[in-house]
């Protein structure tokens, strides 16, 4: 289990670090190596919208590159302040798909000194599971986990074991994420009809995935739990709790019942764009992203109506830390 420290770390102590450059957000965790596991001593999160032109133009824009360089320069400076024993820096969907990927990676290397590893969808799915494994309950034999990202959505079908990490049986990656959807729906950001088309498309793909992985019999027996690692789900939990500002410690691990899900999504659809902009748990950085994420989640929940669904404010960078600690 990953623990956090409010006091910072001993700069001469051995540390490990994980950096995740996503389609929407740049995230860094630095952790001290302790006998009890990784203890986070420093972190960094910045929304950079790396994929802001990916869906429409197929490349990482010049403006997004500048935002990435700025964020990663901050990360590189933080890393220099610690004795880093092991480091892994990964990039996901935007870098996988961008036509100018190699040019972008070279700019990052030359400007920041960081060498980004572009990981596959399979590795991204695995890391997301590793990061939230301690929130899974081995009282059921199977679990479905999903990660709604900026440029893609991963759905994993897993078998659970007592005292052992979960094993991924099947997984799928959908080429839909909150940033690429926002770009596609830029001229109709709150329009209900195109969002429902997204919902139907996601459900159609996942029904085929269910058939391939023989999931339906287990769904009928209710021998499955559902967990989501995404900003969409954490936002729904924060909205339900009516938080004055987002609090990760209260959100991560929270259970959303189907009643809460339906009520919260209805309330979100009823908000105006201005209301989403001003809401402390949405704000300007997520106001045009959250409805696309909700449409993807609705498609997932249509196929996997497991009650309740557990919220995990975890992801790839936490999975990276756990991996590094095991090495």
CATH code of the domain covering residue 258: 3.30.420.150
Same domain, 161 and 271: yes
Q: Mapping DSSP to helix (H, G, I), strand (E, B) and coil, where does residue 211 land?
A: helix
pLDDT of residue 5: 60
Q: For residue 323, is it within any domain?
A: no
d(CA 94, CA 319): 19
Same domain, 194 and 306: yes
pLDDT digits over 41-83, tens only? 999 999 999 999 988 899 999 999 999 999 999 999 999 999 9
Give backbone dihedrals phi and psi of 308, rounded to 5 degrees, phi first: -95, 175
Q: For residue 125, is it within any domain?
A: no
Give backbone dihedrals phi and psi of 239, rounded to 5 degrees, phi first: -65, -45
Q: Mapping DSSP to helix (H, G, I), strand (E, B) and coil, where does residue 156 land?
A: strand
Helical ranges in 185-257 per DSSP H: 192-213, 216-221, 231-241, 248-251
pLDDT digits over 230-269, tens only? 899 999 999 999 999 999 999 999 999 999 999 999 999 9
Per-residue exposure over 250-264, b if at least 16 CB sit within 10 Å of its own CB, e if not:
ebbbbebeeebbeeb
Same domain, 26 and 166: no
pLDDT band at 285 (very low <50, low <70, confident <90, very high): confident
pLDDT of residue 230: 84
Same domain, 161 and 283: yes
Torsional class of 113: left (φ above 0), alpha (ψ -120 to 50), beta (otherwise)? left
pLDDT of residue 185: 79
Same domain, 283 and 259: yes
Q: Mapping DSSP to helix (H, G, I), strand (E, B) and coil, where does residue 49 land?
A: coil
pTM for the predicted model, two decimal places: 0.89
Q: For residue 124, is it within any domain?
A: no
Q: How many C-alpha atoms does 21 have within 13 Å on its Cβ side?
A: 31
Q: For residue 230, is it within any domain?
A: yes
Q: How many domains does the chain have?
A: 2
How many residues does this entry show for the chain?
Answer: 327
pLDDT of residue 227: 97
Which structural domain, as residue segments, surrounds residue 160? Answer: 133-316
Same domain, 47 and 70: yes
CB 245 within 8 Å of CB 281: yes
Which neighbouring-strand residues pair with 26?
21, 46
* pLDDT exceeds 80 at position 2: no
Same domain, 177 and 242: yes
Per-residue exposure over 210-233, b if at least 16 CB sit within 10 Å of its own CB, e if not:
beebebeebbeeeebbbbbbbbbb
Same domain, 143 and 279: yes
């Amino acid at each position: 289990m990953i623990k956090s420290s409010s006091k910072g770390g001993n700069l001469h102590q051995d540390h490990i670090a994980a950096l995740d450059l996503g389609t929407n957000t740049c995230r860094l965790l630095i952790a001290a190596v302790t006998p009890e596991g990784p203890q986070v001593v420093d972190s960094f999160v910045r929304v950079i919208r790396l994929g802001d032109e990916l869906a429409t133009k197929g490349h990482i824009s010049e403006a997004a590159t500048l935002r990435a360089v700025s964020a990663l320069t901050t990360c590189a400076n933080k890393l220099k302040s610690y004795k880093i024993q092991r480091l892994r820096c990964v990039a996901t969907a935007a870098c996988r798909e961008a036509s100018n990927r190699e040019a972008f990676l070279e700019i990052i290397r030359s400007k920041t000194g960081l060498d980004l590893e572009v990981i596959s969808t399979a590795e991204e799915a695995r890391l997301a599971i590793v990061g939230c494994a301690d929130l899974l309950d081995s009282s059921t034999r199977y679990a479905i986990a999903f990660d709604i990202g900026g440029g893609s959505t991963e759905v994993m079908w897993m078998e659970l074991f007592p005292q052992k990490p979960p094993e991924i049986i099947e997984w799928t990656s959908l080429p839909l994420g909150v940033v690429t959807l926002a770009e596609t729906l830029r001229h109709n950001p709150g329009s209900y009809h195109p969002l429902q088309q997204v919902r139907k498309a996601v459900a159609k793909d996942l029904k085929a995935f269910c058939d391939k992985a023989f999931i339906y019999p287990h769904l009928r027996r209710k021998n499955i739990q559902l967990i989501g690692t995404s900003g969409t789900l954490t936002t729904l939990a924060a909205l339900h709790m009516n938080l004055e500002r987002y609090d990760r410690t209260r959100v991560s691990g929270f259970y959303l019942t189907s009643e809460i899900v339906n009520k919260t999504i209805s309330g979100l659809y009823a908000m105006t764009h201005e209301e989403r902009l001003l809401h402390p748990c949405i704000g300007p950085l997520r106001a045009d992203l959250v409805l696309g994420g909700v449409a993807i989640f609705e498609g997932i929940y249509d196929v996997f109506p497991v009650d309740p669904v557990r919220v995990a404010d975890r992801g790839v960078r936490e999975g990276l830390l756990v991996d590094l600690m095991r090495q």
